[in-house]
Structure 1
Amino acid sequence: MSGLNLDDFGSLVERPDAGVRRDAQDRWQRLVSPPGALGKPAELAEWLSAAQGRVPARPIARPRVLLFAGDHGVASLRVSAHEAGTAVALVRSVLDGGAPVNVLARQFGAQVRVIDMSLDCDPAELPADVTAHRVRRGSGRVDVEDALTVEEAELAFRAGMAIADEEADSGTDLVLLGDISVGGTTAAGILVAALCGTDASVVTGRGSGIDDLAWMRKCAAIRDGLRRARPVLGDQLELLAASGGADLAAMTGFLLQAAVRKLPVVLDGVVTAACALVAQRVAFRAPDWWLAGQASGEPGQAKALDRLSIEPLLDHGVRLGQGTGALLALPLLQAAAALAAELPDVSGEPVVERAPEPVREPVAVTSEEPPADPPREAADTP
């Protein structure tokens, strides 16, 4: 039985400050004529003001790309353009600084952090800070077995929470959330279809660029995974164990704790959208702390964002994943914050800032010690 009480998040997650948002809206009326002339940047500046608790919004000083990495057993069904168990090669490309996410991050002044939750490789192949939160090697084939045990799902969920605390405590002021996985969009499709009450064909996309035969295999895998997911829809931790994976469970925990810590997040593609959908079931106010960077063209992402009532900021057809879609939206947010901070307010109104509040954490997390990390030997066992 899990010792983590997800119901605590329902009361711990608050909405961004509505009063500060109204003050920001009033200020824009004084700054720009005609009203609404700056369109989306003004809306984003108001959102940032509410999230930061101050008017005008501060410039974005420390954006961070977080990439949760994992291999999924369902990839053995050839549902991805990448071979099963090869996500580590994608991770190495990012760590070497030569991936698209690195180019964009350098251009926009963001730092990149990779977190290995369940890569199918020897952890000694990667830096210790990357593998520090690993739960297991790979995951179960979700069409016929659970991705994780419930205990492993809780470990991953808690790891995501801990990472949210680390980022908030280090001064990160905006997170661009992505994934590096092989088979991850199939697991995400199961979660989206289960939580939206729809069929596999409605959420099955091309993912990494698969052909028609691979699409049919992927659709069949999501269909079979749905049969296993539906009986556990009432328990989100069991759902993540049955149909997600350690990377998806960690991202869900991260999103919820980031909302508790008032840390705004930009979602990338279908995998992060699926985790957001699970997190919404836990805490209905949490989506107010999230934006969607771009529309990837994945039907599962569109379905999830519609359910979350989140409209993507961009629609450039970028479906690479690895945080690239979220990163492409960063300049728009930076522009919004800069406009809010630097346009002169001729009225001389003072800065409005929310008083800092003590950090609150779920009772279940603070009332007992979290389970110890598994020994390295156990974590390396398939």
Structure 2
Amino acid sequence: MIRSVKELAGLIQAPNTAAMVAAGQHLDILTKPPGSLGKLEALAVRLAGITGEVKPSFTERAVIVMAADHGVCEEGISAFPAEVTPQMVLNFLAGGAAVNVLARQAGAEVNCVDIGVNSDLSHPDLISRKVRYGTANMAQGPAMSREEAEKAILIGAEVVEKAVVRGVSLFITGEMGIGNTTASAAIVSALTDISPLGSVGRGTGINDERLRHKIAVVERALKINEPDPTDPIDVLAKVGGLEIAGLTGVILAAAANHCPVVIDGFISSAAALLAQRIAPESANYMISSHVSHEQGHASLLQELDLQPMLHMDMRLGEGTGGVLALHLIDAACRIMAEMATFESAGVSSAEPATADEDGQ
């Protein structure tokens, strides 16, 4: 059992460079011009480094949907009431949400974790690990204690550890929590040079007036709490959310277990930023699924040096972009496992470059 965030971070190793080299060499002998599959080839090499296998496959994969409420909703920063959080959790559990539909298509299970919903929920499929009944209002003081933030991170790690034992080898981050784009924007602005003007977006679809108010709320939360940019857990505790903390643990534990973790949208990317600041090596295990329509997401992915696979103008969260990206991950894996080599297919390969062609 992992006892601390520091211990968890210490388990993360560098990718397997030998497997990456071997994967690149295998790609170059397949029946195609070198590099002609573009980002699919880069993805295949990354997956080899993550797993240590030249031809990995991911038959068991899970979306981890962390759910929690936010006290900052008291400030009127969302178009939807906080009551939607528990209602949507039940929708996930009933299989009726967008992420359920897309996960079924992609062959992924959906695990829903109550890590901080401000309601008592009961369902046989719910993973009930509530730290507290939602965060406090970060515009008036810290969202939670440091101990609560660390506990939530370790809960996320525990969910991953149990999934790995039953055979899951790839994870997708998902979340539910009315108000969590506000917390995510505050985290991003606290940890980077991106101001609230650049990090705060429309979330659930607020109008211009409420957007200006939301920016002011984030500015006030940062001023009141003074989160330490050199201490990611301090930032998380003061202006974050319990589901964001849980996802931070999911990402760190996936990396510690040599499993790829597909990062969904803006909220998941805020958790990825926290994970990267806690354990820089964890970024090597992250795969960015898409760039969302939410303000600040593109800048956040640049901060993480992650290249999104999809541009779909989505801004739903839940893990929806992540499960769509599974089809591309499967494509990369099948190219490695099923495509013929020049030798096996009896196809002539390209001639080696001459001295004039390669500039030597």
* TM superposition score normalised by structure 2: 0.90
Task: State the partner residue of 2:278.
Answer: 282
Corresponding letter in the other structure for 2:112: V
Task: State the partner residue of 2:246.
Answer: 250
Task: State the partner residue of 1:294.
Answer: 290
Task: State the partner residue of 2:140.
Answer: 144
Corresponding letter in the other structure for 1:35: P
CA contact (8 A) 2:139 2:218 kept: yes
Task: State the partner residue of 1:181.
Answer: 177
264-273 vs 246-255, which moves further: 246-255
Aligned residues: 343
SS in 1 for 2:147: helix
Corresponding letter in the other structure for 1:292: S
287-296 vs 93-102, which moves further: 93-102
Distance in structure 2 (CA, Å) of the matches to 1:190 and 1:331: 32
Distance in structure 2 (CA, Å) of the matches to 1:230 and 1:337: 45
Match of 1:313 among 301, 309, 316: 309
- In the alignment, structure 1 residue 31 sits paired with structure 2 residue 27: no
CA contact (8 A) 1:67 1:114 kept: yes
SS in 2 for 1:337: helix
CA contact (8 A) 1:72 1:85 kept: no
CA contact (8 A) 1:292 1:311 kept: yes
SS in 2 for 1:329: helix
Residue 58 of structure 1 deviates from its aligned partner by: 2.5
Distance in structure 1 (CA, Å) of the matches to 2:180 and 2:226: 19
Q: After TM superposition, list the pairs within 5 Å mapping 1:112-131 onto structure 2.
A: 112-123=110-121, 126-127=122-123, 129-131=125-127
Distance in structure 2 (CA, Å) of the matches to 1:228 and 1:170: 44
Match of 1:65 among 53, 63, 66: 63
Corresponding letter in the other structure for 2:195: D
- In the alignment, structure 1 residue 132 sits paired with structure 2 residue 128: yes
Distance in structure 2 (CA, Å) of the matches to 1:163 and 1:229: 30
- In the alignment, structure 1 residue 167 sits paired with structure 2 residue 163: yes
CA contact (8 A) 1:41 1:332 kept: yes
Distance in structure 2 (CA, Å) of the matches to 1:4 and 1:302: 34
CA contact (8 A) 2:115 2:152 kept: yes
Distance in structure 2 (CA, Å) of the matches to 1:37 and 1:164: 35
Residue 273 of structure 1 deviates from its aligned partner by: 0.6
CA contact (8 A) 2:263 2:288 kept: yes
Residue 251 of structure 1 deviates from its aligned partner by: 1.2
Task: State the partner residue of 1:364.
Answer: none
Higher relative contact order (CA 8 A, sep 6+): 1
CA contact (8 A) 2:111 2:127 kept: no
- In the alignment, structure 1 residue 219 sits paired with structure 2 residue 218: no
CA 1:227–1:85 in structure 2 vs 1: closer, same or farther (change >3 Å)? farther
CA 1:188–1:113 in structure 2 vs 1: closer, same or farther (change >3 Å)? same
Distance in structure 2 (CA, Å) of the matches to 1:4 and 1:162: 10
Corresponding letter in the other structure for 1:109: G
CA contact (8 A) 1:233 1:239 kept: yes
Residue 275 of structure 1 deviates from its aligned partner by: 0.9
5+ residue gaps, structure 1: 349-382
Distance in structure 1 (CA, Å) of the matches to 2:51 and 2:224: 41
CA contact (8 A) 1:71 1:86 kept: no
Task: State the partner residue of 2:199.
Answer: 203
CA 1:329–1:131 in structure 2 vs 1: closer, same or farther (change >3 Å)? closer
State percent identity of aligned pairs.
Answer: 34
Residue 11 of structure 1 deviates from its aligned partner by: 4.1
CA 1:147–1:7 in structure 2 vs 1: closer, same or farther (change >3 Å)? same
Distance in structure 2 (CA, Å) of the matches to 1:197 and 1:128: 44
Residue 7 of structure 1 deviates from its aligned partner by: 4.3
Q: After TM superposition, list the pairs within 5 Å mapping 1:371-382 onto structure 2.
A: none
Q: Hey, which bits of structure 1, 4+ residues long, moved more than 6 A? A: none
337-346 vs 202-211, which moves further: 337-346
SS in 1 for 2:144: coil
- In the alignment, structure 1 residue 94 sits paired with structure 2 residue 86: no
Residue 235 of structure 1 deviates from its aligned partner by: 2.7
SS in 1 for 2:29: helix
Distance in structure 2 (CA, Å) of the matches to 1:13 and 1:252: 14
SS in 2 for 1:285: helix
Corresponding letter in the other structure for 1:93: N
Residue 32 of structure 1 deviates from its aligned partner by: 3.2
Distance in structure 2 (CA, Å) of the matches to 1:173 and 1:48: 11
Task: State the partner residue of 1:47.
Answer: 46
Match of 1:304 among 300, 303, 306: 300
CA 1:171–1:131 in structure 2 vs 1: closer, same or farther (change >3 Å)? closer
